[in-house]
Structure 1
Amino acid sequence: MNDLAELLDIAWDAAEIGRRLMTTASPGRVSEKSDRDLVTELDVRIQHEIRDHLRRATPGFGFLGEEDGGGALASAGPVWVLDPIDGTSNFAHGLPLCAISLGLVDDGEAVVGVVVAPFLGLAYHAMKDGGAFVDDAPIHAGTNGDLGRAIVSLGDYDTGPDAAEGNRRRFAITRALAENVERVRMVGSAALDLVWVADGRTDACVMLSNKPWDTAAGVVIAREAGAVVTDLRGAPHTFSSGETVAVSPKLADPLRALLTSATT
């Protein structure tokens, strides 16, 4: 595999394709992939153009994108993992909380991540053992150790035919957080949930899902910023985990205890 710094440059060039299209092109037709899960024509266009760029720049690397129907993440070898517009519902409704999320996963580990939020003027990046940054400024997870002063974001509620069952745990966690933390937020973009823990804007995020295109970039950025990234039980996060929890280090134990009590 190429040098990580070189691959980060390639990821930046790819993300720039998405940024340019998101800020200049029409969203086009908006349709439903499934119950209340939207996709725009621009999602598909961005994915295709970034995929073609990456295939030229890194021949032999795998590619996994949300708008090709998703699928499993290969367990071996380098794979680019893309969400062309993370937060499509926000984007389709004119809300600025959306981002291009591009990660590189090698043998199951996220090693490069770029998250660009064009309408917020924010661009995050990290590579393994290289620290995490917003633009060129280093970022670090927060130092708050008091749950009562914590801002915690939640991933979206479930949709689809099994939503009622899937949302039981979400409602229980929402209640537990509402009764114990300073504020609960729902951003609507997993990539932003993760990078905002990384730069201390929030203290934790809790997502009861783990789609690789949602988390690949944000996980490496959060970890390189010093955040603890686990599943709901506190085991180290992998792409086979059922959930994704990122939290500032001093809150890792109390948050895990709260989540455990809410879901058992």
Structure 2
Amino acid sequence: MIPHRDLLPIALDAVDRAAALMRRQTPVTSTRKGDRDLVSEVDYAIERDLRSFLREVTPGIAFLGEEEGASGSGEWQWTLDPVDGTVNFVRGLPLCGISLGLLHGVRPVLGVVDLPFLGTRYWAAEGCGAHMNGRPITVSATTSLSEAVVGMGDFAVGADAANRNRLRLALMARLAEKVQRVRMSGSAAVDLVWLAAGKIDAAITLSNHSWDMTAGVAIAREAGAVVVDSSGNEYTSASTTTLAIAPGLVGQVLSHLKDTTAASR
């Protein structure tokens, strides 16, 4: 069994490479991946560089990148979103970063998220706690929705977007009547690490892939968050929805989601 904690320095080195590239290379072109979805040449450059680097230093570990898919196989897998928040990045908005995680089977066990334009890096390995710029972090102790700030993932785009967005809109409307504020950053990684650091109290993503979530979920869990899918089951890499919540709010958030889902049918 690979000691995943020993892989943390490698993950940090990999993200150093990616963050340096992201800072120095302004996106000059972007390509549509689908309806209202973009990928830049920086996304490809980071993913190709880290795929090559990690193949060299950890040849026994598979790799999954958002832009060019999977390589290798086995029970361990690196997952990478090379630029999480590409639209923000292309527009010069600082809420974007690199999200590199490690799966053991379907469980996230390590994560590094670097937000180069905010000067913050978050990391965690299972059993080692969560950290921001080297300092330990924990989720908030909030227990009342009226005092909670909730992060919501982006609206759906592409095929059947209007239908898929009905639940998002209904849930946002319901939460807006109950919580202190609802926020949408445009980056799942930002939402998850801000939850881990106690800046927000819940992060709700109603459609996702494992490269979006692995690193942030590992960090949020080590910071004390409860991370489940929309049915309340423990999050795994097979989950297509993700709710990361401060422990004191889990029942309330899931109850509102359940009621909203029932009312939207």
TM interval, shorter chain, is: over 0.9
Change (3 A) 1:28 1:204: same
After superposition, give the CA deviation of every residue in 1:199-256 in whole Å (9 maximum; x if it has no partner): 1000001100121110000001000000000011211111222310000000001111
Between the aligned partners of 2:251 and 2:71, the Cα distance in structure 1 is 31
- Residues 67-146 of structure 1: pairs in structure 2 closer than 5 A: 67-68=67-68, 70=69, 76-146=74-144
Structure 1, unpaired ranges of 5+: none
Show the counterpart of 2:146. 148
- State the TM-score, normalized to the length of structure 2: 0.96
Change (3 A) 1:72 1:25: closer
Deviates more, 1:95-104 or 1:21-30: 21-30
Answer yes or no: is 1:39 the counterpart of 2:39: yes
Change (3 A) 1:73 1:249: farther
Q: Per-residue deviation at 1:262?
A: 0.9
Matched letter for residue 39 of structure 1:
V
Show the counterpart of 1:10. 10
Between the aligned partners of 1:240 and 1:72, the Cα distance in structure 2 is 18
Q: Per-residue deviation at 1:71?
A: 6.6
Between the aligned partners of 1:104 and 1:73, the Cα distance in structure 2 is 14
Instruction: Give secondary structure in 2 for the equivalent of 1:13.
Output: helix
Native 8 Å contact 2:19 2:116 kept in 1: yes
Q: How many residues align?
A: 262
Answer yes or no: is 1:208 the counterpart of 2:206: yes
Equivalent pairs: percent with the same residue?
Answer: 47
Between the aligned partners of 2:4 and 2:237, the Cα distance in structure 1 is 20
Matched letter for residue 217 of structure 1:
A
Matched letter for residue 163 of structure 1:
A
Deviates more, 1:235-244 or 1:217-226: 235-244
- Give the aligned CA root-mean-square deviation in angstroms: 1.5
Between the aligned partners of 1:73 and 1:236, the Cα distance in structure 2 is 26
Runs (4+) of structure 1 moved beyond 4 Å?
70-74
In the alignment, which of 219, 230, 233 is matched to residue 232 of structure 1? Answer: 230
Structure 2, unpaired ranges of 5+: none
Between the aligned partners of 2:60 and 2:183, the Cα distance in structure 1 is 40
Between the aligned partners of 2:14 and 2:71, the Cα distance in structure 1 is 22
Q: Per-residue deviation at 1:260?
A: 0.9
Between the aligned partners of 1:106 and 1:161, the Cα distance in structure 2 is 32
Show the counterpart of 1:163. 161
Native 8 Å contact 1:210 1:239 kept in 2: no
After superposition, give the CA deviation of every residue in 1:48-104 in whole Å (9 maximum; x if it has no partner): 001111001100210000011x47997x51100000000000000000000100001
